[in-house]
A and B are shown apart, each in its own frame.
Chain A
Amino acid sequence: MQDLINIFVRSIFIDNMIFAYFLGMCSYLAVSKTVKTSNGLGIAVIFVLIITVPVNFLINKYLLSPGALSFISPSLANVDLGFLSFIIFIAVIAAIVQLVEMIIEKFLPSLYNSLGIFLPLIAVNCAIMGASLFMQERELQTFGESFFFAFGSGIGWWLAIISIAAIREKLSYSNIPKPLRGAGIAFIITGLMAIAFMSFLGITI
């Protein structure tokens, strides 16, 4: 249990998707103009992450990792399909995003209205693919670990985007040098926020 909480806290604060790995920066910079839309996108990212990463975990564990196919027949124990992981992960992500979009549209129309426009964007959000690749790279062992890693990463991303959106809303009242307006100042503020987040380094529970 303690391990799971540790993974969860670590992925929110220390290995934050935005501040430590710059994942999902494109939509982070493009959408973070108001808190309301940022919140919608953040929740959509959490939602898609906690579905895709565990699914990719199962695929990686039972189909792709070296020797994983031995449960079919012992003669397949030497097969390593690892080289297929990129294409399979992205296909799974694209398919799940499509599926989630259809399910939400059918059963939760109010949620669909608030998340709808963001869902297709998410298929190519680097944070989603990045989380699956990190899951594979760090060799997470259990289903629970992959779930809490995905949940924590999603929360971390949501936290980052709503904080920058809140700052950018206030920024519209300040007098910034003209060439720095828009993207330039957003980069510098993200950098300063990343420095602040570095103070969480070394936290363990």
Chain B
Amino acid sequence: MDDNKPIKESLFSKKNLKPLIDPFSTNNPVIVQILGICSALAVTAKLKPALVMAISVIFVISFSSLIYSLIRKTVPPTIRIIVQLVIISVLVILVDQILKAFVYDVSKQLSVFVGLIITNCTIMGRLEAFASNNNPWNSFLDGLGNGAGYGLILIIVAFVRELFGSGTLLGYHIIPQALYNAGYVDNGMMILPPMALILIGVIIWVHRSFNKELIDKN
């Protein structure tokens, strides 16, 4: 994209919205680019921490894209990684302090995984691949889209794991008592870490069955 030419199109033109929409399905950071799995899956045993994590990541990724895109022409290429890390860490420290102040219990549950947003490969990947050569508005939208696409997968996984693992959603009982009386039992396996991996595998399977062009060649 050439940013020297003045922007004639509207802020929400189709071309501008492309980076916002794509990451939801055909260019999803988790299930297509396979990035940012590290800091996320451990928080999906319950829906609430997953929601908080998703919002935090959306915040960090969109604003770091915006800030990096604003200063992209003044950053020498040799030190760009450390500049990116500093921007991301400052935003993550902000998120961490806000979480500690307002939702202390969730912040305790997330423990080290808030700090690990810094090394979330999605964020560095977007700064490197998109924000470093696009204008601030597009970068912001791209960050927003990727953050949301990432959050979407987290929420799907957390929804399935909490519903079938403990029969609740956001702490409220969903599975009716009558079903338990009839012999239904919560699947304790869903709470354990391995099921997060297997669920992602299944999501990839379903997603690629509908999007044949994403299938690996070999």
Contact = CB atoms under 8 A, between A and B. Distances in A.
A89 B93 CA distance: 12
A191 B41 CA distance: 12
Nearest to B97: A83
B201 A123 contact: no
Given A87-B93, A182-B216, A184-B208, A191 B116 contact: no
The prevalent SS among residues of B at the interface is helix
A13 B196 CA distance: 19
B118 A26 contact: no
Contact of B121 (A26, A179, A180): A26
Contact of A94 (B82, B192, B193, B216): B82
Contacts, number: 142
Contacts of B216: 181-183
Contacts of B181: none
Contact of B201 (A83, A86, A87, A187): A187
Nearest to A17: B38
A199 to B, nearest CB: 12
B96 interface: yes
A198 B194 CA distance: 9
B209 interface: yes
Contacts of B194: 19, 191-192, 194-195, 198
4 interchain residue pairs of minimum CB distance: A126-B38, A187-B201, A182-B216, A179-B208
